[in-house]
Structure 1
């Protein structure tokens, strides 16, 4: 599968496939792999990659008439440019336009742009969508980030206390997170509304700061042992080594009139955990 490896001047790097503009790897400068990528994922045309950072657009999950999670993650994106910024970060910009195939599913004219920037201990991914046609449209979107963890039993997510969420695993609506932190036990599939600009995943000797801009929601997902066993493209035991914390625009769809543009981003930073 055609891919691009970006290396910052300080050694930080990320790998992106043209298929889906999919970030498959992120290694901070002097660090180790931070993203989970399933060893049994199907790397072929028409299939979604299990792991990394799938781009979800123009529909999140099954919340609409399109195929699950829309078509962006299985489309071939065009590399617009790549190189280094003035401060030595590596950056690439990919774009996706409507096509005969997308119009057959979703009859709108659009331009989507994904900008990936890596340097030091940080990875930043920005998604922008422009209505380049003459008909208004609405969409939902997410950056479906699979964070690598040593053991899901030792992971906690901070910053969600008191927030409302939809429990997609049980179908329950208008739930409230009453815990100080969120631990993962069994299947967890929650869409949190109106999240703060920064969340934190803690595990062992490392924390990952998860910052979002323009995305009002966040998804926390792990399939748990039972559901994971039914996912052919998730390696055995893989659920124990990943947790999705996704920046999303889901609860309230984004509406764009002709000529309007929307953007949202997620920034990840790997740092030593506070003692």
Structure 2
């Protein structure tokens, strides 16, 4: 499997696989790894990588006729550019288009571009979808970010109070989140939206991670919990306690993209002391 390592002038780095344009690692300048990657991840051409930031397109989960989470996360993307910008940030752009196999299951002419930018204490991942065909198409999408935790039980996720969510575990819709923050998290699978503010992931005695989305109107919070985790062959025992997915997503209201137009969404993650 091919990988690209981006390194900013200040030492911040990220590692991206061409398979899925999958961000597998993010280490801020003078920091430590911020993304979870399972030690059992299968780095094979027909499997999704467990951890990092999978790109979900053109279908989220099983909310449609396509394979779970669509085809982008298991496709080989083409590296379009790899540059060091004047501000010291390192930036790479990956590209994916239709082919015969994809047209068979999703008959639309498109270009997807994933731009990854790393610098200082920030990682920004942007997804652009272009409709190059002559008919509209609709899609859902997400950046399925797995964040590394020292202990799931001690983590707190701020910024969702007052937002409604769909609870996929019990098939309940439009539940109002009343908690100031999520904590003592165990098994969870919720689609929150529309978001009203950036999110903040807090861990005891560690820097805080600020998560801001643009274009993506929803956030998915997911952890399989201990019971379901043992059924996942690409997750080692106990690893679910060292990760939490906080995904930038557009799911509740699919995008309808007219011919010749583009949609953009991004997730910007910044590590800070407060």
Taking structure 1 as the reference length, what is the TM-score of the superposition? 0.98
How far apart, in 2, do the equivalents of 1:137 and 1:184 lie? 40
Question: Are the aligned partners of 2:163 and 2:196 in contact in 1 as well (CA < 8 Å)?
Answer: no
What is the CA-CA distance between 1:183 and the residue it aligns to?
1.1
Counterpart for residue 64 of structure 2:
64
Counterpart for residue 268 of structure 1:
269
How far apart, in 1, do the equivalents of 2:77 and 2:8 lie? 22
How far apart, in 2, do the equivalents of 1:265 and 1:16 lie? 16
Matched, 1:236 2:237: yes
Matches within 5 A, 1:160-175: 160-175=160-175
Matches within 5 A, 1:10-159: 10-159=10-159
Aligned-partner SS, 2:73 = helix
What is the CA-CA distance between 1:271 and the residue it aligns to?
1.4
Describe the superposition over 1:10-46 as per-residue Cα deviations: whole angstroms up to 9, x where unpaired. 0000000000000000000000000000000110011
What is the CA-CA distance between 1:197 and the residue it aligns to?
4.0
Taking structure 2 as the reference length, what is the TM-score of the superposition? 0.98
Describe the superposition over 1:60-106 as per-residue Cα deviations: whole angstroms up to 9, x where unpaired. 00000000000000000000000111101000000000011111110
Unaligned runs of 5+ in 1: none
What is the CA-CA distance between 1:186 and the residue it aligns to?
2.2
How far apart, in 1, do the equivalents of 2:29 and 2:101 lie? 39
Counterpart for residue 191 of structure 1:
191
How far apart, in 2, do the equivalents of 1:29 and 1:111 lie? 32
For the aligned residue pairs, the C-alpha RMSD in angstroms reads 0.7
What is the CA-CA distance between 1:184 and the residue it aligns to?
3.8
Question: Are the aligned partners of 2:191 and 2:220 in contact in 1 as well (CA < 8 Å)?
Answer: yes
How far apart, in 1, do the equivalents of 2:47 and 2:203 lie? 31
Unaligned runs of 5+ in 2: none
Question: Are the aligned partners of 1:17 and 1:23 in contact in 2 as well (CA < 8 Å)?
Answer: yes
Matched, 1:212 2:200: no
How far apart, in 2, do the equivalents of 1:254 and 1:183 lie? 31
Describe the superposition over 1:171-190 as per-residue Cα deviations: whole angstroms up to 9, x where unpaired. 11110111111114321110
Question: Are the aligned partners of 2:165 and 2:176 in contact in 1 as well (CA < 8 Å)?
Answer: yes
Aligned pairs, number? 273
Aligned-partner SS, 2:226 = helix
Describe the superposition over 1:141-177 as per-residue Cα deviations: whole angstroms up to 9, x where unpaired. 0000000000000001001001100001111111011
What is the CA-CA distance between 1:206 and the residue it aligns to?
1.8
Question: Are the aligned partners of 2:159 and 2:197 in contact in 1 as well (CA < 8 Å)?
Answer: no
How far apart, in 1, do the equivalents of 2:169 and 2:151 lie? 21
Greater than 4 Å deviation, 4+ residue runs: none
Question: Are the aligned partners of 1:188 and 1:220 in contact in 2 as well (CA < 8 Å)?
Answer: yes
Aligned-partner SS, 1:141 = strand
How far apart, in 2, do the equivalents of 1:15 and 1:172 lie? 37
